[in-house]
A = this chain, B = another copy of it.
C-alpha cells in the first residue's frame, strides 16, 4: 500500500503524518483558491449586469482579460515585491517565482527567499496561486467603477501596474512582513490589503474619468442609469458570496478545523446581516426593497467582515455586517451627491466597507487566547468595545491611512500619465453609441431589439 506521494523509500510514521498534513493543508489552500478565482465570474456578471447593454461586451472583456494580465504581472514581478525578502517597504526577491525555497518546510526549518510566508506548510506553488487570485480581485474591483467610459487599453495598463506594483507594495507592508505588520496592524483576509486598495484605485479612476454623459445633468440629483441584466447581476452576487468562503477561511492557509469553520460562520453571518440590513434601510429610505441594494448590502457585509473574520465572535460579526449593509445604502447616495459616478457601487462596497471592516478589528476583536488559532503574536489586541483600549484602533487607522495614501498617490500618478498620453476616456460619440461597437466591434445581445441608445 502506497503511503507517500512520489517517495520511493519507506517513510517513518512522523514523515507520513507530516505528509498527510501537508496534503490536507495544500488541498484546502488550492480549493479555496479555486473559489476565489471563481469570484472573477462573480465580478464579471455583477458589473456587466449593473451596466447598460451597449457596454456589456466591454465590461465582460475587461473582467475576463484582467485575470490573465494579473497572472502575468504577479508572476513576473508582483509576488516578488509582495512576499520576497527585502526591506520593510517592498520585497526584491523571487521574480518569476524563482529563488531558493524549501516549502512546505515551515518556521525555523524554512530556507528560502519568501520568509514572510514561511508559516504556511504548503508548497510554494500553492502560496503563489492563492496570493495570485487575491491580487486579481483588486483589479476587478476597479473595473466596475470606471465602466462605460474608459478606454479598453488604458484599463489594461492600469490593471497591470496595480497588480504588478502598487498592490504588492502595500500588501508587503501588511502580509509580507513589512512595517505595518511590525506596528501591529491586522487585516486577516484583506479588507484593506485587497478591497480598500481596489476601492481607492477605483475612486481615483472614477474621479479622473468624470461621470458618464448625462448622469448628473439634473439640478437635484443623479439620473438613474439602471443595469441591463439583473439576473446575471444577482448570479454574480451569489458567486461572490460563494467565493468569499474561499477568500476568508482560505486565508488560514491550513485546514485547521476550528479556525476555518469559525471563519465560515462569521463570514456568512455578516453577509446575511448585511443583506437584511441593506434591504430594510433601502425600504425605509428609498421606499422599495431595491434589488441592487440587497446585492450591495450582502457584498458590503462580506467586505467588512474580511479583516476581522478570524478575530471576532459571531454576534459581533452580525453587527459588523449589519452596519456594513446600512453604510452601503447611504454611501451610494453620498457619492452620487459628490458627482463621483460609480456604475456598480464598487467604491461604497469595497472602499467604504473595507475601511469599516479594518476599523472593526480594533473595535470588536476578541483578544488573544479566546480562540485556539488566535494567540498574542497571531492576532490583534482586544478590541475597544471589549475593553481593550484605543491602541489597536490606532494601529488600524494608521494602516488605513498609509495604504490609502500610497494607493491614491500611485493611482493619481498613473491615471494622470495615461490621461496625458492620449486620454483615458472614449470619445463622446463612442460613449453615446456604446463601447461595445467602438472598442470591440461587436454587440452583446445580437438579434434582440433594444431601445435607442441614450
Q: Give the chain B neighbours of A446 by CB distance below 8 A.
A: 52-53, 226-228
Residue of B17, B68, B231 near A17 (CB, 8 A) is B17
**Inter-subunit contact A235/B232 (CB<8 Å):** yes
Expressed in whole angstroms, the Cα–Cα distance for A34 and B244 within the complex equals: 10
Q: Report how far A265 CA is from B287 CA in the complex, Å.
A: 49
Within 8 A of B (CB), among A292-325: 292, 294-295, 298, 314-315
The complex places the Cα of A405 from the Cα of B273 at a distance, in Å, of 33
- For the complex, is A326 an interface residue (Cβ under 8 Å from B)? no
Prevailing SS type, chain A contact patch? helix
A292 and B65 CA atoms in complex are apart in Å by: 12
A424 part of interface (Cβ distance < 8 Å) = no
Q: How far is the CB of A359 from chain B (nearest CB, A)?
A: 23
A239 to B448: give the CA distance in the assembly, Å: 25
Answer yes or no: A134 CB below 8 A from chain B CBs.
no
Contact A1 B449 (CB under 8 A): no
- Would you list which residues of chain A between 1 and 57 have a CB under 8 Å from chain B? 1-3, 5-7, 13-14, 16-18, 20-24, 26-28, 30-31, 33-35, 37-38, 40-41, 44-45, 48-49, 52-54, 56-57
Cα–Cα, bound, A65→B61 (Å): 29
Shortest Cβ gap from A289 to chain B (Å)? 6
A253: min CB distance to chain B, Å: 11
Q: How far is the CA of A40 from the CA of B240 in the complex (A)?
A: 12
* Cross-chain contact of A294 among B30, B61, B262 (Cβ < 8 A): B61
Chain B contacts of A33 at CB under 8 A? 264
Q: Is the CB of B121 within 8 A of A228?
A: no
Which residues of A in the span 118-144 have a Cβ within 8 Å of any Cβ on B? 121-126, 128-129, 132
A414 at the interface (CB under 8 A from B): no
Whether, in the assembled complex, A328 has its beta carbon less than 8 Å from a beta carbon of chain B, the answer is no
Judge whether A291 and B440 touch: CB under 8 Å: yes
- Collect the chain B residues with CB atoms within 8 Å of residue A239's CB: 41
Question: Could you tell me if B245 and A1 are in contact, using CB atoms closer than 8 angstroms?
Answer: no
Q: Tell me, yes or no, whether A100 is within 8 Å of chain B by CB.
A: no
Our pick among B96, B242, B261, B276 for the contact of A65 (Cβ within 8 Å) is B276
Give complex CA distance A268, B71 in Å: 8
Residues 355-385 of chain A, each 1 if its beta carbon lies under 8 Å from chain B, else 0: 0000000000000000011000000000000
Given contacts A238-B40, A261-B26, A276-B65, contact A60 B291 (CB under 8 A): yes
Tell me the residues in window 250-264 of chain A with beta carbons closer than 8 Å to chain B beta carbons.
Answer: 254-262, 264
Cβ-neighbour of A450 out of B132, B229, B449 (below 8 A) = B449
> How far, in angstroms, from A291 to B61 measured CA to CA in the complex?
6
A445 touches B442 (CB 8 A): no
Let me know if A69 is at the binding interface, CB within 8 A: yes
A104 within 8 A of B: yes
A401 at interface (Cβ–Cβ under 8 A)? no
Docked-complex contact B447 and A449, CB < 8 angstroms: no
Known: A56-B230, A231-B56. A255 touches B23 (CB 8 A): yes
CA distance A292 to B57 in the complex (A): 10
In the complex, A451 has a CB within 8 A of chain B: yes
| With A23-B24, A23-B256, A26-B261 already in contact, 5 other A-B pairs whose C-beta atoms are closer than 8 Å | A13-B13, A31-B31, A71-B272, A75-B269, A226-B446
**6 examples of A-B residue contacts, CB within 8 angstroms:** A23-B255, A57-B291, A61-B234, A64-B291, A68-B298, A75-B269
